[in-house]
A = this chain, B = another copy of it.
Amino acid sequence: MAGAARTTEEHIVALAGGVGGAKLAHGLALARPDDPLTVVVNTADDFTLFGLHISPDLDTVMYTLGGIANPATGWGIAGDTAAALEMIGRYGGETWFWLGDRDLATHILRTERLRAGDTLTAVTARLAAALGIRAAILPMCDEPVATRVETPAGELAFQDYFVRRRQADEVRGIRLQGIEAASVPPGVAAALARATVVVLCPSNPIVSIGPILAVPGFRERLRAVDAPVVAVSPIVGGAALKGPADRMLASLGHEVSAVGVARLYQDFLDGIVIDQVDASLASRIEAMGIAVHVTDTVMRDEAGRRALADETLAFAARLRTQVGA
């Protein structure tokens, strides 16, 4: 009954970090525009700059789903300018983190509402609604969590490692400061409870998906979820399509492949979508008890995002039918 299952309403929960994750989340929204979509987003990259609370991954997901993301970079707002940042530089302020003028509106309003006592969940919902986004974009938690990167140069704040030092340092360890005090927000718990499919987007498994999974109770909920849990591998042909995930996996002792990714998710994963260039890895993953779907996983445009989302949902539906059979 796989065919019938695909026309039933899906309650989709996607886990996402920045650009790669946002693209597949967008694909899911395009593929099932009438179905409830919840995107749970990494917030361990969040940081404070000039007193403003910046949530890079939430912004990337929000701008992408809102159709205003800069298509050239994947992050930031299309056509944005940087007059404020230029002036900040003139005042002697730091300019290593790019702040667009339109982007600043997001940071300013978010910071104002957080200071007023709103949760990050509430603030994000309000901003996303104003951009006409139907999907629920939920931070992984409302408590502050900060990814700290252990390197030969010492422990670095995430954006320091990622933006200022351009991921040049070898990553020897990751510490999620504040994670013990974090908790799964009620909206995330509710979405997981009613999910008909959970999709781990092709985001960095260590510093994007990793922090979401590390929120106390999240991983247990994912293991217990009554729906197929599928991932899309961010590693294609032994390399990350974007960002330092490949080098990070290697330096932390993981295999730099879809196999290495599957291993990190092994305790809850039902299936993984891998690229056709990695087809030969399928048997090793299947030996772990994880189903594999092989396809073109590189999302070159909106049609590509939607196609990958369609294939991922169909794959999950097949797994559901098998489980239910």
Contact = CB atoms under 8 A, between A and B. Distances in A.
Interface string A77-93: 10011011111101111
A52 interface: yes
Number of copies: 2
Contact of A87 (B91, B105, B111): B105
Nearest to A128: B91
Given A108-B88, A109-B88, A115 B83 contact: no
Interface in A76-129: 77, 80-81, 83-88, 90-93, 100-106, 108-109, 111-112, 115, 127
Nearest to A79: B83
A287 interface: no
B86 A102 contact: yes
B81 A83 contact: yes
Given A101-B101, A105-B87, A130-B90, A111 B80 contact: no
21 contacts: A50-B112, A51-B108, A51-B111, A52-B108, A83-B101, A84-B84, A84-B101, A84-B108, A85-B105, A86-B102, A86-B105, A87-B101, A87-B104, A87-B105, A87-B106, A88-B108, A90-B131, A91-B105, A91-B131, A104-B108, A108-B108
